[in-house]
Every structure is written in C-alpha cells, then in structure tokens.
Amino acid sequence: MLLILYGVFLGLFVSIVVIVSALVLSIRRFKDREKASPFECGFDPKGNARIPFSLRFFVLAVIFLVFDIEIALLMPLPLIMGWDIKMEIIIGGITFLLVLIGGLLHEWREGSLDWRE
C-alpha cells in the first residue's frame, strides 16, 4: 500500500514539474509584431484571404503524393515475396505500375508537368 502511495505522489510530482516548467518556458520574453504574427507559406496573414491560388502547384503536389504512396506500396513487394515467388503478387505489382505509368503519361501529355511557361 505504501509503495502505491509513493508511486501516486511521484507521478503527481513529475506531472506538476512538467506543467510548471512548460508554463515558465512558454512565457515570451519580448513581443515583436512580426514574430507574433502567423506565417502561412509566404502569404500575407493580414491581407485578403481570398487571393488566387496556383492550380499548377496543387496538381504538382497531388502528383508528388501519388508517387510517394506508390513507392510506399511497391517497396515491400520483394520482402513480401521473399523466396516464394507468387504470380499474383507479380501481376498485382505490374498492374499497379502500369496504371501509374498511364497516369504519368496522361499528366505529361496534358502539360501539367511542364513548368516552362
């Protein structure tokens, strides 16, 4: 019983120390208007929030995410197969790659990847 009581008091003590130290460290020493204002990826936070957004940048970001997920899905295929090569895994991986290559060719033909304008 005494050991449980010590554990509870130690847990409360550590929690209080962490909370107090976080409060002390979070106090701002100097108030600067530029440092206190939020920074939103180069947009002026005090200006109009309805400025036009570059659709080309958005499309490029989506393409990057698609190919990033592709790498995350294709990298474990050799580990899944191991020494036992299964035709279903190979066909699934090749089909996945063909769909992504088709999407890349479509984006390329559409001109979404051309930034020289």
Give tens-digit pLDDT for 56-69. 777 778 888 888 88
Q: What are the residue boundaries of the structural domains of the chain, listed by start?
A: 2-110
pTM for this one? 0.46
The architecture in CATH of the region 2-110 reads Up-down Bundle (1.20)
Residue 7 CA, distance from chain mean position: 38
CB burial of 37-69 (b: ≥16 within 10 Å; e: otherwise) equals: eeeeeeeeeeeeeeeeeeeeeeeeeeeeeeeee
Inter-residue contact 36 to 30 (CB < 8 Å): no
pLDDT digits (tens, 9 = 90+) for 74-95: 888 877 777 777 888 888 888 9
